[in-house]
Amino acid sequence: MTSRNRSLPASQGLNSPSPRRRTVVKAAAATAVLAGPLAAALPARASGQAPAFLHGVASGDPLPDGILLWTRITPTPDATPGSGVGPDTVVSWVVATDKALTQVVSKGSTTATAASDHTVKADIRGLQPATDYWFRFSSGGTDSPVARTRTAPAATADVSGLRFGVVTCANWEAGYFSSYRHLAARGDLDAWLHLGDYIYEYKSGEYAARGKVIRQHAPTNEIITLADYRTRHGKYKTDADLQALHLKAPVIAIWDDHEFADNAWSGGAVNHTEGAEGTWTARKAAAKQAYFEWMPVRPAIEGTTYRRLRFGKLADLSLLDLRSFRSQQVSGTSGSVDDASRTITGRAQLDWLKAGLKSSDTKWRLVGNSVMIAPFVIGSLTADLLKPLAQLLDLPQGGIGVNTDQWDGYTHDRRELLDHLTSNNIGNTVFLTGDIHMSWANDVPVDAGTYPLSESAATEFVITSVTSDNLDDIVKVPEGVVSAVAAPLIEAANRHVHWVDTDRHGFGVLDITTDRAQMDYYVLSDRTDQNATAKWERSYRTRTGTQKIERTYDPV
């Protein structure tokens, strides 16, 4: 893909003041034959009609002077995602300081080709910091919807506040993405964070809503090939609520395992069978290629998602990739979670994270973290709750209190990181976490066994899933029943855990000021209802200089 971006002089507009989850699936790959089913799922267009923007538009990775724009053009009816067909098509864009697009500050064009699945990216620079912009794509006489985006504050700016939506774990077949719709309706977000599992790789029916498929994804087989991953990303991008949120604010995204396969690690995955499903090297490369084609994310170090964004002097955000470099998870009595040779980050990424945290001169150090870093032990749960909780948290189901897919399975890396925070007096570090389909508000203790007599090195807000099954769904009991029983036992056994909600689906809103970082937790009325309502459930905050969580009753 070639592109040319032309920023206009200031006189022309730069004068503005935005399951089991763990089931191993064996499925044959489907490729071009999937074009028909996906085409049937997309809005109908007459043969020969002009190019169409069927998958919405989006922006991401805001910088003080720039933003990454994204869209996908469907040049002909047969050029469906993953099809590998369709003519080269010129797509242009325009960026302005007003929604009517009269105060143009940047415009350009690129050629979308089948080689990139007809996806388009434009990395716009020369913009003003902390400024709302609007943009639109056009092709062949067809215009996309107009979308809002926002640049980050200048690096040296005194910023009074920031507000981010926070989501994770959106399983298409398990329900509707109402969380995205409710975040889009707010209209007050600087950006929104997606902490992983933007898509799921399973075959149809393998992982749904308590076993029931609410809406069928495409392709129906487990995704393995590049065509598969492209098709699945394309299906997700047809969701109206997801499109609405992408229209309202830039996204900052990292991947977790399901953008590849369940419990992915550097050399494989639980949900990958070497040979029968090709090589892991080829599958991982296909998943990464499709991800960067379909997401408004700049490929970072070594083509991964670990990178750092800054928001004035108020906060910087270190975004982690905890799948590309990690060692294989231990299982049962195989391997040791304390083995110093095992890693969740890889040496280079851990050194990068430590150096960035130490050198940071912002008030807050945020870490986009796909799996929980706070330690967890089971406690005295009854057998009927122990087994499904162990399943959801990737624990050996014999009851050993080790969360092997998360930082609990890589204690040497965690100890090194937390020791680094305490020995260098690095405060105001907040981990923002997804993955486990439950809401948590945690201190991150240096020594969980002696906490709270020992110190906390950081705090952590864990966000529940948009739709993916959580604990009550696995047990198949009414919502709230499991939390009423399990939460007090979990909190009693883990004194750094201030709150856990095992049962609900929803989203978070992170609000940051110089005095505190606060997470408001929202829950959905019913993930299987396309018109689900949302309500505020709880709020927790950490005050500057404390490294501890406290409850607040004042949502933002």
137 belongs to a structural domain? yes
56 in a domain, yes or no?
yes
pLDDT tens by residue, 24-53: 222 223 333 333 333 434 443 444 578 999
**Antiparallel, parallel or unpaired: β 364-369 and 429-433:** parallel
pTM of the model: 0.89
Q: What residue type is assigned to position 452 of the chain?
A: P
**Domain for residue 68, yes or no?**
yes
Write out pLDDT tens, residues 281-326.
999 999 999 999 999 999 887 789 999 999 999 999 999 999 999 9
Note whether residue 513 is domain-resident.
Answer: no
Burial of 449 (0-12, 13-18, 19+ CB in 10 A): exposed
What CATH number is attached to the domain comprising 131?
Answer: 2.60.40.380
pLDDT in tens, 372-407: 999 987 765 555 665 676 666 665 443 344 578 999
State the Cα torsion 519-489-398-200 to the nearest 10°.
Answer: -30
* Mean pLDDT score of the chain: 89
Residue 79 in any domain: the answer is yes
Q: Which structural domain, as residue segments, surrounds residue 119?
A: 3-18+48-150
Report DSSP letters for 17-77, one per residue.
Answer: ---GGGPPP------GGGHHHHHHHSPP--TTPPPB-TT-EEEEEEETTEEEEEEE-B-ST
Compute the residue count for the chain. 556
Q: Is pLDDT at 334 greater than 80 in this prediction?
A: no
pLDDT at position 471 over 70: yes
Is the per-residue pLDDT at 8 higher than 80? no
Q: Is 425 within the bounds of a domain?
A: no
* Domain-located, residue 103: yes
Evaluate whether 476 touches 208 at the Cβ level (below 8 Å): no
Residue 319 domain-assigned (yes or no): no
Asked whether 369 and 320 are in contact (CB, 8 A), the reply is yes
Give the CA-trace dihedral at 178, 181, 185, 191, to 10 degrees.
Answer: 110
- End-to-end Cα, the chain, rounded Å: 43
Six token digits for residue 410:
């890589």
**Number of domains the chain contains:** 1
Per-residue pLDDT reduced to its tens digit, 82-134:
999 999 999 999 999 999 999 999 999 999 999 999 999 999 999 999 999 99
Nearest to 106 by CA among 188, 190, 3, 17: 3
Helix/strand/coil for 351: helix
Rounded Cα distance, 513 and 183, in Å? 20
- For residues 281 and 274, give the distance between their C-alpha atoms in angstroms, rounded to a whole number: 10
Distance between CA atoms of residues 230 and 284, nearest Å = 13
Q: Which range among 166-170, 172-176, 479-483, 536-540 shows the weakest confidence by mean pLDDT?
A: 479-483
Assigned token pair, 115: 């080689």
Considering only the C-alpha atoms of the chain, give the largest distance between any 2 of them, rounded to a whole number of Å: 71
Q: Which candidate, 548, 339, 373, places its Cα nearest to that of 454?
A: 548
